[in-house]
Structure 1
Amino acid sequence: MSHLEKHLSKMNIKTFVDTQLKVTQDIDKLLSILRGTAVSVVIFSKNFANSSWCLEEVATIAEITQKFGHKTLPVFFRVDWTTVAGDDDQYAKTIAGLSFAQQRKDEWRKALTVVASKTGRTTQEIRNEAKLVDEVVAGVLTTLVAMSPTRQFNNYLVGMNSRVAEVVQRLVMKEMDTVRIVGLCGMGGVGKTTVAQACYDNLRDSADEKANTKFHFVNRVGQNGVNDQDRVEGLVRELYSKLLSEDSLSREDLNIEHRRGRLLKTRVLVVLDDVHTPSQLDELLLQDASDPRKLFAPGSRIIVTTRNRKVLEHVKAEIHSVGPLDVNESLQLFKLHAFSLGSPVVDDDDLSHKVLSYCNGNPLALRVLGGALSYKDSKYWESFVLKLGKTQEAEIHHVLRTSYEELRDVKDRRLFLDIACFFSGHWRSLLVKYMETVDESAYSRVEDLIGKSFLASVFDQSEGEILVVHDLLKEMAWNIVNEEEDLGRRSRLNDPADIHNLLTNWKGHRATEGIRLNISKVKMMSLKANAFEGMNSLRWLNFFLPKGFGSRHRKTIVSEGILNSLPNELRGLRWDQFPSASLPGGFSPDELAYLVISHSPIVTCWEQNQWQPKLEKLSMLSLTSCENLTVIPDLRNSANLEHLVLEKCKSLVEVPDSIQYLVKLVRLEVRDCENIERVPDRLNSKLLKHLILANCPKVTDTPKHNTKLRPSGIAVRECSNRQV
C-alpha cells in the first residue's frame, strides 16, 4: 500500500488512504470522503472480508458507482475474482460468520459483486509487485484523464477524452526503461493534434518533479516547410535549445560529445505535430529516429502526429489510429455547436442525422457545420441539406465550402480569407488591431468566426492567446482565391511564380489585396523602381524568410534603382531583406498597423528631408538585423503601439525618449544592439508585460516604471552582461 501511495503522489495525484482515519473509528467521515473522490482503488486481499470497516467502504463505493457512475479500480492481491464474489468461496464464508444482521451481510455481498466485476488488476496476471503498482498507477491516471477536459478545449473535446485516455495509457505503461515513440495517424480534421495536446498537457501536469523531465511541443512541422534544409536547422535549434536549456544550438553544436551525453541523460516528452515525411522525422531526431535510445534517456516519450502512416512505420512507432467519431459522439459535438445557446431552434433529429452523414465523424466538419446552422430555422436547415447533396465533390472539402458560403456578409468572408491566408498563428490582440484598420467591427467578426469554428483561439504559454486556422480551412481558403483565373484580379497571392509575374511582367489591371511570398522559394526577382505603382487595393505585403534562414540566405529580391513607390493603402508591411536604404519617398500609409523589416541595408525608414506619416494606427514595429539603421521612426503620434522590437541593429545609438509616452506598450524588446548608449528614463505604460534589454553593453541605466502598476511577467534581462 505504501508503495502505491508513494507512486500516486509522484504523479501529483492527491490520495487518501483509509488508515488515516482509523484511529478515530469515524466511519461516517470516511464515507463522506469516499463520496467526494474521483476514483477508488479497492485492494482485495486474503483477510479483507474480516473487516466490517472495509465492507462498509465497499458498500458505499458500490452505491456511488451504480448511482453516479463513480470510477472504481479493483486490485486482486493474491486472491481471484471467485474468492471475492463467489457464492461458496472464502469471502462468502467469512461474511456469514460475522455478527451482523443478515440484511447487512447480504448488502455487503452484493457490493462485493458490483466492485469486483469492474476491470481491474490481479497478481495472477502481474506477478511482479513493482510492475503491479505501475499498472495500477497507469490505470488511475488513464481514468482521471478520461474524466477531465483539457485546459484549451474544454467542452469541445466531445468524444476525445476516451481517445486521450487510451494514448496516455500507452505512454505511461510498460517499458519505462526505454524510449518509446507513439504515433497518432488519421485524416485531417479528425483530432490528432487535439489528442496530442491533451496528452501532453496531462502528462506534463502530472509529471514527477524529481524526474526532471523536459517538455516541448513542436507545432505544425510539415506546414512550416521543414523540407528546406535551413528551416530544418531552425526547428532543430528550437527543440534542442529548449531541451538542453541553452540558447540557439545548431546541429554542429549538438555533435559535441558533451551535449550528446547530456541528452542521453535527459528524459523528455516531445510532441512533433503534423509531420509529413520520414525525412522530416529523421532530421528532427538527428538521424537517430530508428533508435531513439541513442538520443534520449530511458523513460522518454515522443508523440508524432501525421496523416502519412509511412512516417510512423519508418521509425517503428507504436501506431494509434485516430478514427472518426461514432454517431452518438458526432451528434453530441454537432449539437454543442448548432445549439450553443441551449434550446434548439430546430428539434428534428432526422435533419441532424442528414447533416451528420456528410461529416463522416470528422470533428472539424461537425464544428463548422454546427456553427453554420446555429440559430437558423427548419426551412434554412432543409435548404442547407439539399445544397450539401447536390455535388459529388470530396466530402470534407465540400462540407467546409458549403459552410463558408453560408457566411452571408461579404466582410465576414473577406476577414476569414485574410486570416486564413496570411495571419494564422498570430497574437489575437494584434491581429484584431490589424483587421480594425480595414473593418471597425473586426473584433465582433472575429468572435463570430470563432463561434462558427472557422477560427480557433488557443492559449500558448510563451506567446499568449493566438488565433489558428485549421490546415483544411487554409487549403479551402487558397482554393477559393485561386478560382479567379485572371491573375490581375486574384485578391491574394502566395505562389512565387504568380507573384514574380505580377510584379515584373503584368501589364493589365492589378486588384491584388494581399501578397505573401516565401523569399526562400525565389531564385531571383528584379523589381523595377515602380513595381508597385497603381496597386491601390494592396493592403498586406509580406516578403518573409522562414524562421532559421536569416542573413545567411542570399539576396534574391533586388531593386533596379531606388524603389520609388509603395501603396499608401497598405495596412501591413513585412519585408525581410528590404533592398533600399529607406522606404520610398511619398510613401504615407496612414492606416499602417504593422511594420516589420529585417536583414536589410536600411538606414532610416523615412529620410529626414521627407514627410513621415503620423503612424497613428501602428501596433507593431520590429526592426531586426538592420546593421546600418541609425534612427527609428518618430513614434510620438503612435499612441496605439503595443510591440516595439529592436534587435541586432549595431549602428543604432539610442531609443528615443518619445516611447515613454506610449501608454499602450505591452512589449519593449531591445537585443544585441551593441552601440545603443541610452534608453528612456521611464516607461509610463500601465499595460507593460515584457521589458527585455539583452546584450546592450553600453546601456548603464534601465527605464523606471511605477512598481504599483507593474504587472506580473515583466522580465528585465542581461543589460551590460548582468542581471538587472
Structure 2
Amino acid sequence: MEDCMDIDIYAHGLFDLLFIARHEANFIGRIVGEIDRQLNNKRSLNIDFPVGIESRLEKLSKDLRIESSNKDVRMVGIWGMGGIGKTTLAKAAFNQFGRSFEGSCFLADVRVKAANPGGLVSLQELLLYETLNRSKTKDVGFVDRGTIMIKEKLQHRKLVVIIDDVDKVEQLEALARSHDWFGPGSRIVITTRDKQLLKPNVDDIYVAEEMDEEEALELFIWHAFKGCHVNEEYVELSRRVVSYCRGLPLALKVLASSLATQSKEVWESQLDKLNTIPPEDVVNKLGISYKWLDNKDKDIFLDISCFFIGMDKNYVMLSWKVCRNRNQ
C-alpha cells in the first residue's frame, strides 16, 4: 500500500515537473520570439505611408525571382527619374525579403557617400560589416583590397544587398562587380537614374512607375493632413496639386509639407505660383538628373523644355527622331 502511495506521489511530482518545464519552455520561446522580432524591427527600414508599394513590389519580386528554388545569383536594377520612388521600393524589398537570407545590407545614398574622401572604402567596409552579421572585419584600407575581401568573404553567403543611387561605374565595380562575388541564391538590387550603368551588369531592369491619380491623391492627403478629416474644398485643392505633380512622389511630399496647416487662401496662392516657380527642393532633386547628361543631351533637353511645352510626349519624340535622322 505504501509502495502504491509512493508511486502516486512520484507520478504527481513528475507531472508537476513536466508542467513547469513545459511552461518554462513556452515562456523562453516567447522571450526568444520577442528578441527576434525586436532585432528584425531594428533591421527594418522606415517607409512613410507606402502607397502603391504592394503592386510594385510584386512586379519587382518577379524580376528578382524570389520564389525560385534555383541557386543563381540575380542582379536587378531599378531605373527611373529622381523622386519617382526608386529608394522607397528598394527599402520595401529589403524589409520584405531580407529576413529569409543569411545576411543583408542596404547601402543608401551611394552617389553622395562615394564622393566623400575614402567614401568607396567606407561603403565596402559597411557591406562587409552588415552581411557578416556585424562581426569585426579588418580595415579595408583601399578599394582594390576591398574588392578582394568582398569576393573572398561573401561568395559563399546567400545575401540580399541593396545598392542605392549609383551614378558611376566605379561604384558598382567596387561593391558588386560580378555575380560570383556573392553566394548561391543571392539577390542584388541597384537603383540608379542612369540606365546605361545597369545594362552590362544586371539580369533585369525594373522601370520605376509614377503614381496614378488615386495613389498620388492618397499620398498627398496623408502627408498634408496626417490622417485627419479633410474638408471637401481641400480635397478639390489637393486634386489640383496632384495634377501639377503628375504622379511624382517627391513633389507630392514637398508640397504637402509646405501646405500643411495652411489656410485655403494660402493653398490657392501657392497653386497659382507653381506654374512659374516650382518648389526649390523639387528643382534641386530633379536637377541632379540634368547634371549627368552630356552636353548634347543637355542641349536637346533645353530645346524640348523651351519649344515643346504642353505638347504630347509622342509628338516630341517623333520630332526628335526626324531631326536626328536628317543630321545623320
Which residue of 214, 239, 246 corresponds with 2:127?
239
Whole-Å separation in 2 of the counterparts to 1:253 and 1:364: 34
Letter in 2 for 1:166: K
Whole-Å separation in 2 of the counterparts to 1:227 and 1:339: 38
Whole-Å separation in 2 of the counterparts to 1:241 and 1:340: 37
Whole-Å separation in 2 of the counterparts to 1:253 and 1:343: 53
Whole-Å separation in 2 of the counterparts to 1:401 and 1:227: 22
Contact 2:79/2:86, CA 8 A, preserved across alignment? yes
Which residue of 155, 162, 166 corresponds with 2:55?
162
Say yes or no: does 1:183 pair with 2:77.
Answer: yes
Q: Deviations over 1:388-416 (max 9, x none)?
A: 1235xxxxxx234599xxxxxxxxxxxxx
1:336 corresponding residue in structure 2? 222
The two structures have a TM-score, normalised by structure 1, of 0.31
Shift of 1:368: 1.8
260 and 278 in structure 1: CA distance in 2 versus 1, 3 angstrom threshold: closer
- Structure 2 unpaired stretches of 5+: 1-43, 289-328
Which residue of 121, 130, 138 corresponds with 1:248?
138
Shift of 1:175: 6.3
Say yes or no: does 1:193 pair with 2:87.
Answer: yes
2:304 corresponding residue in structure 1? none
Say yes or no: does 1:282 pair with 2:282.
Answer: no
Q: Deviations over 1:667-707 (max 9, x none)?
A: xxxxxxxxxxxxxxxxxxxxxxxxxxxxxxxxxxxxxxxxx
The Cα RMSD (Å) is 2.9
Question: What is the 5 A alignment of 1:220-231?
Answer: 220-226=109-115, 230-231=118-119
Letter in 1 for 2:128: Y
Whole-Å separation in 2 of the counterparts to 1:402 and 1:226: 22
Question: What is the 5 A alignment of 1:365-376?
Answer: 365-376=251-262
Say yes or no: does 1:319 pair with 2:205.
Answer: yes
Shift of 1:311: 1.5
Task: Classify the secondary structure of the residue corresponding to 2:166.
Answer: coil
Say yes or no: does 1:269 pair with 2:129.
Answer: no
Contact 1:185/1:306, CA 8 A, preserved across alignment? yes
Whole-Å separation in 2 of the counterparts to 1:160 and 1:253: 34
Letter in 2 for 1:190: I
Which residue of 75, 84, 97 corresponds with 1:203?
97
1:219 corresponding residue in structure 2? 108
Letter in 2 for 1:399: P
Say yes or no: does 1:153 pair with 2:47.
Answer: yes
Residue-pair matches, total: 239
Which residue of 279, 296, 303 corresponds with 1:399?
279
Q: Deviations over 1:471-523 (max 9, x none)?
A: 83998xxxxxxxxxxxxxxxxxxxxxxxxxxxxxxxxxxxxxxxxxxxxxxxx
Contact 1:400/1:473, CA 8 A, preserved across alignment? no
Say yes or no: does 1:472 pair with 2:285.
Answer: yes
The two structures have a TM-score, normalised by structure 2, of 0.64
Contact 1:346/1:378, CA 8 A, preserved across alignment? no
Shift of 1:186: 1.2
Whole-Å separation in 1 of the counterparts to 2:200 and 2:184: 21
Whole-Å separation in 2 of the counterparts to 1:240 and 1:390: 48
- Structure 1 unpaired stretches of 5+: 1-149, 392-397, 404-470, 476-724
Contact 2:250/2:282, CA 8 A, preserved across alignment? no
Task: Classify the secondary structure of the residue corresponding to 1:303.
Answer: strand
Whole-Å separation in 2 of the counterparts to 1:255 and 1:350: 57
The percentage of counterpart residues that share the same residue type is 31
Contact 2:220/2:256, CA 8 A, preserved across alignment? yes
Contact 1:356/1:366, CA 8 A, preserved across alignment? yes
Contact 1:272/1:304, CA 8 A, preserved across alignment? yes
Whole-Å separation in 2 of the counterparts to 1:314 and 1:194: 24
Whole-Å separation in 2 of the counterparts to 1:162 and 1:316: 22
Larger RCO: 1 or 2 (CA < 8 Å, sep 6+): 2
Which residue of 364, 387, 390 corresponds with 2:276?
390
Shift of 1:362: 1.1
Say yes or no: does 1:304 pair with 2:200.
Answer: no
Q: Deviations over 1:28-85 (max 9, x none)?
A: xxxxxxxxxxxxxxxxxxxxxxxxxxxxxxxxxxxxxxxxxxxxxxxxxxxxxxxxxx
Task: Classify the secondary structure of the residue corresponding to 2:199.
Answer: helix
Contact 1:227/1:280, CA 8 A, preserved across alignment? no
Whole-Å separation in 2 of the counterparts to 1:190 and 1:402: 11
Which residue of 67, 78, 82 corresponds with 1:173?
67
Task: Classify the secondary structure of the residue corresponding to 2:83.
Answer: coil
Q: Deviations over 1:161-191 (max 9, x none)?
A: 2212322343303463211111111112211
Question: What is the 5 A alignment of 1:344-355?
Answer: 344-345=230-231, 347-355=233-241
295 and 384 in structure 1: CA distance in 2 versus 1, 3 angstrom threshold: same
Whole-Å separation in 2 of the counterparts to 1:233 and 1:320: 28
Say yes or no: does 1:358 pair with 2:249.
Answer: no
Contact 1:188/1:307, CA 8 A, preserved across alignment? yes
Larger radius of gyration: 1
Task: Classify the secondary structure of the residue corresponding to 1:224.
Answer: helix
Task: Classify the secondary structure of the residue corresponding to 2:110.
Answer: coil
Whole-Å separation in 2 of the counterparts to 1:338 and 1:265: 47
Whole-Å separation in 2 of the counterparts to 1:389 and 1:280: 37
Shift of 1:270: 0.8
281 and 195 in structure 1: CA distance in 2 versus 1, 3 angstrom threshold: same
Whole-Å separation in 1 of the counterparts to 2:286 and 2:205: 26
Structure (1/2) with the larger strand percentage: 1
309 and 375 in structure 1: CA distance in 2 versus 1, 3 angstrom threshold: same
Question: What is the 5 A alignment of 1:574-589?
Answer: none
Question: What is the 5 A alignment of 1:58-97?
Answer: none
368 and 254 in structure 1: CA distance in 2 versus 1, 3 angstrom threshold: closer
Task: Classify the secondary structure of the residue corresponding to 1:297.
Answer: coil
